[in-house]
């Protein structure tokens, strides 16, 4: 797999009182599968929200189709919330008339 497929690692350290650094625990953004969105929608959304290449987005879409969920990012809690909200705001899939809204994503600690 290409190196682009590896999830982007943010700088997980922040300054703590006293001038030393502490490690900020990472969180996963997990995209959940459903029957109201096409592969084309998933690929387009992943490219726009995360900046993934078409190849990477296709690999992630295949994983969600096979496993029912896929980790699309591992990052700080604040960025995970932002990315989850971008997924939820992406809107319905115009290719499927019964699609009423965006896909669902959840945030979970990376340690789980």
Question: CB-based contacts of 57: which residues, under 8 Å, 6+ apart?
Answer: 42, 43, 44, 46, 47
Q: Is residue 1 part of a domain?
A: no
Q: Where are the alpha helices (DSSP H) in the chain?
A: 39-50, 54-67, 77-88
Taking residues 40-56, what's their average pLDDT? 98
Residue 12 domain-assigned?
A: no
Model confidence at 36: pLDDT above 90: yes
Q: What is the CATH number of the domain that holds 103?
A: 3.30.1390.10
Alpha carbons 44 and 4: distance in angstroms, whole number? 16
Look up the pTM and report it: 0.79
Q: Which domain, by its residues, includes 60? A: 25-109
pLDDT band for position 9 (cuts 50, 70, 90):
very low
Q: Is position 14 within any domain?
A: no
**Is residue 8 pLDDT above 70, yes or no?**
no
Q: Tell me how many domains the chain contains.
A: 1
Q: Is residue 71 part of a domain?
A: yes
Domain assignment present for 7: no
Within-domain flag for 20: no
């Amino acid at each position: 797999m290409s190196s682009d497929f590896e999830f982007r690692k943010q700088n997980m350290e922040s300054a703590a009182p006293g001038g030393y650094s502490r490690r900020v625990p990472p969180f996963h953004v997990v995209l959940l599968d459903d029957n109201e969105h096409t592969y084309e929608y998933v690929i387009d959304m992943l490219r726009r929200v995360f900046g993934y290449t078409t190849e990477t987005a296709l690999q992630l879409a295949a994983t969600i189709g096979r496993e029912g969920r896929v980790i699309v990012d591992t990052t700080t809690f604040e960025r995970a919330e932002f990315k989850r909200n971008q997924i939820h705001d992406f809107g319905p899939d115009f290719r499927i008339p019964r699609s009423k809204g965006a896909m669902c994503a959840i945030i979970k600690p990376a340690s789980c």
